[in-house]
């Protein structure tokens, strides 16, 4: 049985090779991306077994998703191929050297049709961690029910439940997101949130400190709350222990996927028995790898590459 099970939608990604409006690109690149897929690949590269649960269409984009995940050693046996809905699509452009823009084409997608019946109880029960995100809950009522069903099953079998809020304004309004995410938080053992997401779910104003938001979320049930602070690092709350970790400075090539890479690093260290400070540091390290390379997950490290960010500029490994 895999140690980590992730559940959600993985899409095909079309992106340009250069910087500027996509309409001027002479050729486009095809890839795959999704928050849950990034976590599965991230932990897998660190030597932890992982499985992914979701739906893809019976099309070339769906086959691309399965091929990439299999190639990274992620178990996709529980993925359902839906013959009546297309695989979701994400279009990404680097509008400037510092700003990326993402558009989703996922209404009516196979992934949005994920349902509670698609959640394999045996797979979830045999895992050590189930990881879900707020993105899945935002896709549709059936997808939200599937996420909740997975969390309930995991809790009933003593499996640790990880929830990343991953709020996407394009998918649902903040009022609806806050209600649903507060409900799901009650079933989570570990919660990941960005600074703004934490305040939104906690119902706090824009001036509230990250530690205040973390404590408010912890009062909803989770034993561990992690607030991701971008270039300022991260804050973790476990019981009464409040720990901060600094970000690793790198040249940012692509900011998309950093939060999911962070979650992968944190969970890998958690499964390795590391204390919360080391979990946060590992999360920050994988987040740095993510933004220092193009693509959501392509630049994530193997175990023996974790120290690459500590090397001097211009080092050549021979």
Between the alpha carbon of residue 104 and those of residues 12, 41, 113, 171, 193, the distances in Å are: 10, 22, 16, 9, 21
Helix/strand/coil percentages in the chain, nearest 5: 40, 25, 35
Separation of CA 126 from chain center: 21
User: Distance (Å, rounded) from C-alpha 216 to C-alpha 228?
Assistant: 15
Helices marked H in the chain: 35-45, 60-71, 121-125, 134-139, 141-156, 174-185, 195-202, 210-218, 258-271, 276-291
> Helices 210-218 and 195-202: crossing angle, nearest 10°?
50
Residue 251 known to be catalytic = no
Do residues 227 and 234 touch, judged by C-beta distance below 8 A?
Answer: yes
Q: Which of 82, 118, 260, 296 is catalytic?
A: 260
Phi-psi region of 277 (alpha: psi -120 to 50; beta: other; left: phi over 0): alpha
Grouping H, G, I as helix, E, B as strand and the rest as coil, residue 11 is: strand
Task: Please report where in the chains the tokens 């996927």 appear, as a residue.
Answer: 257
Grouping H, G, I as helix, E, B as strand and the rest as coil, residue 318 is: coil
Catalytic residues: 260
């Amino acid at each position: 049985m895999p140690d980590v099970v992730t559940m959600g939608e993985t899409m095909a990604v079309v992106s340009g090779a250069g910087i500027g409006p996509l309409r001027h690109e002479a050729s486009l690149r095809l890839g795959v991306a999704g928050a849950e897929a990034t976590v599965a690949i991230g932990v897998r590269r660190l030597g932890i077994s992982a499985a992914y649960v979701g739906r893809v269409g019976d099309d070339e984009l769906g086959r691309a998703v399965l091929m990439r995940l299999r190639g990274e050693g992620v178990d996709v046996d529980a993925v359902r191929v839906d013959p009546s809905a297309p695989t979701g699509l994400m279009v990404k452009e680097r509008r400037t050297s510092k700003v990326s823009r993402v558009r989703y084409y996922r209404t009516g997608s196979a992934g949005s049709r994920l349902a509670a019946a698609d959640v394999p109880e045996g797979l979830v029960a045999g895992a050590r961690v189930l990881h879900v995100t707020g993105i899945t809950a935002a896709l549709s009522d059936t997808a939200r029910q599937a996420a909740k069903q997975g969390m309930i099953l995991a809790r009933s079998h003593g499996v640790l439940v990880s929830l990343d809020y991953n709020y996407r304004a394009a998918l649902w309004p903040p009022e609806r997101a806050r209600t649903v995410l507060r409900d799901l938080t009650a079933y989570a053992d570990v919660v990941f949130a960005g600074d703004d997401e934490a305040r939104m779910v906690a119902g706090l104003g824009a001036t509230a400190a990250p530690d205040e938001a973390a404590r408010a979320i912890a009062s909803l049930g989770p034993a561990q709350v992690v607030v991701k602070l971008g270039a300022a690092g991260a804050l973790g709350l476990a019981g009464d222990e409040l720990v901060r970790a600094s970000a690793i400075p790198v040249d940012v090539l692509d900011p998309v996927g950093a939060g999911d890479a962070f979650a992968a690093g944190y969970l890998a260290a958690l499964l390795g028995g590391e204390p919360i400070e080391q979990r946060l540091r590992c999360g920050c390290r994988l987040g740095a790898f993510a933004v220092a390379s193009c693509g959501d997950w392509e630049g994530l490290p193997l175990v023996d590459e974790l120290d690459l960010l500590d090397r001097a500029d211009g080092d050549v490994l021979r």
